[in-house]
């Protein structure tokens, strides 16, 4: 079965839902480029909700791992050899895309899969839906507290194990 949509319908639909991702197919403007539908101001569509939620999960994960190890942002930055301001952005700004070096350093320091952290940072094109579900579930059930209880530590360790297993499987 072949579905046909008019350019007008496609423009109206994407204008009504700025979180929709459209990245393939011929341009509706006829320029032969990527299918980035321009709104009235000719800006690309809003950042995908999925990537923002993954970055929220990354921020929660980094904050929890840092808290588990009893580190301030400054101390983690020094030990992992990364910039403090980048760590703050990762922990608090879900629209910030961490640079590859930061992701690599955090992966090495915390022994968490580089592939997984890269997906969480939005640095990869493909997103593992099972990983996404695990990240969102973990972030949604994580409280921001000063210290981790033994139960929270167990949950964090289990989550890290899941992230590393997803990368291997």
What's the CATH number where 90 sits? 1.10.260
Query: 2 burial class (0-12, 13-18, 19+ CB within 10 angstroms)?
Result: exposed
Q: State the total domains in the chain.
A: 2
Q: Are residues 35 and 67 in the same domain?
A: no
Tell me: do 24 and 77 sit in the same domain. Answer: no
Domain that holds residue 36: 1-46
Same domain (yes/no): 38, 53: no
Listed as own residue / partner, the contacts of 102-107 with beta carbons closer than 8 Å and 24 or more positions apart are: 105/80, 105/81, 106/62, 106/80, 106/82
Q: What is the pLDDT of residue 110?
A: 96
pLDDT of residue 39: 35
Identify the segments of the chain with pLDDT beneath 70: 1-47, 144-146, 169
CB 124 within 8 A of CB 112: no
Report pLDDT for 101. 92
Q: pLDDT tens digit string along 56-76? A: 999 999 999 999 999 999 999
My answer on whether 72 and 101 are in the same domain is yes
Yes or no: say if 33 and 25 are a contact pair by the CB < 8 Å rule.
no
């Amino acid at each position: 079965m072949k579905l046909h949509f008019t350019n007008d319908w496609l423009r109206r639909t994407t204008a009504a839902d700025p979180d929709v991702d459209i990245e393939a197919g011929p341009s509706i403007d006829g320029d032969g480029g990527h299918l980035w539908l321009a709104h009235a101001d000719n800006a690309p569509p809003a950042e995908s909700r999925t990537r923002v939620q993954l970055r929220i999960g990354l921020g929660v994960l980094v904050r929890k791992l840092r808290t588990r190890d009893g580190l301030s942002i400054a101390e983690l930055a020094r030990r992992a050899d990364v910039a403090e301001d980048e760590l703050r952005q990762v922990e608090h700004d879900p629209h910030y895309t961490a640079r590859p070096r930061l992701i690599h350093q955090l992966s090495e320091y915390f022994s968490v899969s580089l592939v997984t952290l890269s997906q969480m940072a939005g640095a990869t094109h493909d997103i593992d839906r099972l990983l996404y579900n695990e990240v969102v579930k973990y972030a949604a059930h994580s409280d921001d507290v000063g210290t981790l209880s033994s139960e929270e530590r167990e949950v964090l360790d289990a989550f890290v194990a899941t992230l590393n297993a997803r990368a291997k499987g």
